[in-house]
Structure 1
Amino acid sequence: MNLPKRNIVCMDMRSFYASCAAVLEGLDVMETPIAIIGDKNRKGGVVLAASPPLKEKFGIQTGNRLFEIPDDPSIRLIEPKMQFFIDVSMEITRLLNQYVPKEAIHTYSIDESFIDLDGTERLWGPPKETVRRIQDDLVRQFELKAAFGIGQNLLLSKLALDLEAKKIGIAEWTYEDVPEKLWPVAPLSRMWGIGSRLERTLNHMGIFSVGDLANTSLEKLEKKFGVMGNQLYYHAHGIDLSDMGPLLLEEQVSFGKGQMLFRDYVKREDILVVILEMCEDVAMRARKAKKVGYTVHLSADYSKNAFGGGFSRSRSIAEATNDTMKIYQVCADLLEKFHDGRPIRRLAISLTKLEDEHVMQLSLFDEHKWRNRKLGETMDSLRSKYGSNAILRAVSYTEAGTAVERSKLIGGHFR
């Protein structure tokens, strides 16, 4: 197989949130134990980022809670300033733009980007030399450190970053490195793109390492997983033919929204208020993408005060939809059937098994369906033009609603 050999870099800003906050506060992120807390006024506030000293000395990681942080005077608790983080991220992109054109930069997240260095050798030298230049610029201009994975395609650069560069700073992987560096990787969830649920399914098939996956027949994987099986097989061999843009996936396979609630929700009617708000968001994004889905998934995590746990269930419907109320009705039915009455602290909703909207049977004689589709389109247009809270359902203004407060946040956190 004649595989393309490109010069793709995956860049990850090390301890980005903690490092930005440290610069803002005049602190040294490598010396000071810093915790970025979602909300310092709540004991259950989530640790969004932790500096290396906080992790090493106190064992506090991202995802811990405020009440788990020791009462030590050396620890600095800082609330996130999301607009500042976004501004820094944009300035870093401008720095990258000095080395490559904008179309050669793919911003994967606020602290991670892909850079296509093809054709830059005459300007900046070999990829590794260019990466070291960028690394030095980041420290000099922003006092921020970064790790870089270099690969012959997008996947290899990401794997080089996650599995090696985050430990040593810069790592370069080629197709020839795959058997030695990638195949021994286990458990499978260490492989980018494989989550815990998919890992369990693969384990049940007797596949426990990336090498096991690479040595499983393509026919067997496609029979079990369809198109995803094809992707799993080739990714296990380090092969990825995708271009910069939608990363590694040909198209979005679901629309979802997860939300950590401001408090424990006990009453069913209050829980349904939040579910309706979330269904509105999921349906709006599906409509904008001109997609409809057959399967609705609802999951809920119970409060730690109720000893945790929860449920995760889905239901398929006969006709694909992106109608808010149809998605909501499925979620309401799932809640009624599987919620055992304990307080809920986190909810997640997704719409999957997508197809293009024009495939959906939308009879012109079904005035109700046509009216709902146009109404949703109009509401989406108003929100896009005037903001997410330009038009809300009445329940969002009740005590149980969260949409009004969340509209004041960026990325779920204070500006």
Structure 2
Amino acid sequence: MDAFFTSVEQADDPRLQGQPVVIGQSLRGVASAASYEARKYGIRSAMPIVQAKKLCPHAVFLPGRMSRYREISGKIMNIMRALCPVVEQASVDEAYADISGTLRIFGPPENLARRLKAEILSDTNLTCSVGIAPNKFLAKIASDWDKPGGLTSIRPADVPTFLHELPLGKIPGVGKHFQEELRRIGVTTVPHVLARPRAYWSETMGKRGAFLHDRACGIDDSPVVPGHDPKSCSAENTLERDTLDRTLLERWLLIQAERIGRELRGLGKKGLTVTLKIKFKDFSSITRSRTLTRPTDITTEILEAARKLLAAEKLPQPVRLIGIGVSNFRFVQAELPLMPDANRKRSQKLDQAMDRIRDKFGSTSILRAEAAVRETEAIEDLLSQKNRTLNGQ
């Protein structure tokens, strides 16, 4: 998808069309997405919001709506699965499709790509870019080649010529540190890689070297795997101000436990391991994990484990970011029956009832009392900041 998060915002609110839009508001956080209009000013994802506002003070900065992005993503993936025989969702806005055997149905691959693009545009009012190639890594490169709204096809006979002119940084998996390491030995292009045999790369750099040589040759035998399962669910927040206030930190843990619990229940999974992440004022960070006696998707059990992990930490300096993760998944159906637990059963029924209400009326339609207090305090803080601005303070 093209600038997915910001494009969804622009599609939902026509007043934002043509405007530079950035997902991220906190001056202490980073941009999670930027529209193409914002990118013209040099704004990129992962850029500090403070820097983004300096580059484009008149940009529209929005908090982001992950539930809405997931909803639209689901529609897009359904369109893909209706047209393509095998689909692997790689992220909320990216997927691979193995279209082997579709020639008799759709004709050349470009016909299928155009139909896919047209149906996504018709159903969501969003554009996407499609890459067609003999394997996954080349298809990914092709999908980024002509954004936004592009369609790039790399036929097998064209692969050597295409790779010969490809910057190494365009190869997925060859990041900045790897590029710098290669630059120190005089390797800056694909022909430089191919000038040395695969055995050399395997001996000097191990698996990374063999991977690099294979990609330089256009080799990637990884299959398109449908139904790829996530390995964990997590949520984290950068705080408006560094804090040692444990009550405030625990309220954030509640909000995060709500999000993670709902996501786990939606996936039909339960996790055995709860992890607490803390980043301090000086940007140092720690993670602490706790393995439960039985897998869970219950919000209060996730929260209780996270709070115990927090209570065990001394917090040597103010906290900048806090987050929770749940991993070590088990399918709900696979959980062994245990002695009945009335309190646990009530918690499960409460979670399920809240999920149904949120599915029907929105994620903020019902809140636990403690979370509602946090929401109220956040609103009061925003109103206070607005009043100070209006009074010139």
3-state secondary structure, aligned to 1:146: coil
Are residues 144 and 362 of structure 1, via their aligned partners in 2, closer, same or farther at CA, if it must alter by over 3 Å? closer
Aligned counterpart in structure 2 of residue 36 of structure 1, from 12, 17, 22: 22
The answer to whether 1:149 aligns with 2:131 is: yes
Check if 1:301 corresponds to 2:275: no
Q: Which residue of 2 aligns with 1:24?
A: 14
Contact 2:3 2:33 in 1 (8 A): no
| Inter-CA distance 141–297: structure 2 relative to 1 (3 Å threshold) | closer
What one-letter code is carried by the residue in structure 2 that aligns with 1:254?
A: S
C-alpha contact 1:301 1:347 (8 A) present in aligned 2? yes
Distance 1:393 1:188, change over 3 A: farther
Tell me if structure 1 keeps the 8 A contact 2:28–2:238. no
- 1:171: how far off? 4.2
- Superposed CA RMSD in Å reads 5.2
How far apart, in 1, do the equivalents of 2:377 and 2:90 lie? 28
Aligned counterparts of 1:285 and 1:81: Cα–Cα separation in 2: 17
Letter in 1 for 2:6: Y
The aligned amino acid for 2:355 is: S
Structure 1 match to 2:286: 311
CA separation of 1:53/1:394 partners in 2, compared to 1, >3 Å: closer, same or farther? closer
Instruction: Give the conservation status (yes or no) of the 8 Å contact 2:87–2:95.
Output: yes
CA deviation after TM superposition for structure 1 residue 17, in Å: 1.9
Paired letter, 2:208: S
Residue 69 of structure 1 is matched in structure 2 by 52
Question: 1:206 and 1:94 mapped to 2: Cα distance?
Answer: 38
TM-score of the superposed pair, with normalisation by structure 2: 0.62
- The equivalent position to 2:248 in structure 1, one of 264, 270, 279, is 270
What is the deviation of 1:297?
Answer: 1.1
SS of the residue 2:145 aligns to = helix
Contact 2:271 2:329 in 1 (8 A): yes
SS of 1:350's partner is strand
1:33-77: CA deviation from partner (whole Å, max 9, x where unpaired): x232434xx544643433456445x43212324421355779543
Q: What is the match of residue 182 of structure 2?
A: none
Question: Number of paired residues?
Answer: 336
Structure 2 counterpart of 1:220: none
**Contact 1:294/1:351 (8 A) holds in 2:** yes
Partner residue in 2 for 1:50:
34
Residues 4-403 of structure 1 correspond to what in structure 2 (within 5 A)?
12-14=1-3, 17=6, 21=10, 24-25=14-15, 34-39=20-25, 42-44=26-28, 46-52=30-36, 54-55=38-39, 58-69=41-52, 71=54, 75-77=58-60, 79=62, 93=76, 101=83, 111-114=93-96, 117=99, 120-122=102-104, 124-132=106-114, 146-151=128-133, 156-157=135-136, 159-168=137-146, 169=150, 170-172=152-154, 190-191=172-173, 207=206, 209=208, 211-212=210-211, 237-240=220-223, 242-243=225-226, 246=227, 249=228, 251-261=229-239, 263-287=241-265, 289=267, 291-302=269-280, 306-338=281-313, 340-357=315-332, 360=335, 362-364=337-339, 370-387=341-358, 388=363, 392-399=367-374
TM-score, normalised to structure 1, is 0.60
In the alignment, residue 146 of structure 1 is paired with which amino acid? C
Letter matched to residue 69 of structure 1: A
Please state whether the residue corresponding to 1:315 is helix, strand or coil.
Answer: strand
Which structure would you say has the larger RCO, counting Cα contacts within 8 Å and 6 or more residues apart? 1
Measure how far apart 1:240 and its partner are: 1.8
Indicate conservation of the 8 Å contact 1:104/1:115, yes or no: yes
User: Cα distance 1:20–1:381, how it changes in 2: closer, same or farther (>3 A)?
Assistant: closer
Partner of 2:181: none
User: Which residue of the partner structure matches residue 9 of structure 1?
Assistant: none
Displacement of 1:349 in angstroms is 1.5
Which stretch shows the higher mean deviation, 123-132 or 107-116? 107-116
Percentage identity across aligned positions? 19
Q: What is the alpha-carbon distance in structure 1 between the residues aligned to residue 170 and residue 288 of structure 2?
A: 24
Distance across 1 between alignment mates of 2:93 and 2:154: 20
* Cα distance, 1:135–1:270 mapped onto 2, change above 3 Å: closer
Residue of structure 2 in register with 1:411 after alignment:
none
User: What's the CA shift string for 1:224-250, capped at 9, x where partnerless?
Assistant: xxxxxxxxxxxx95222523xx2xx3x
* Structure with more helix by fraction: 2
User: 1:391 & 1:145 partners in 2: Cα distance?
Assistant: 34
Whether the 8 Å contact between 1:214 and 1:237 is mirrored in structure 2 is no
1:338 Cα deviation (Å)?
A: 3.9
8 A contact 2:83–2:116 mirrored in 1: no
Shift of 1:190: 3.8
Higher deviation after alignment, 353-362 or 381-390: 353-362
Do the aligned partners of 2:254 and 2:371 also contact (CA within 8 Å) in 1? no
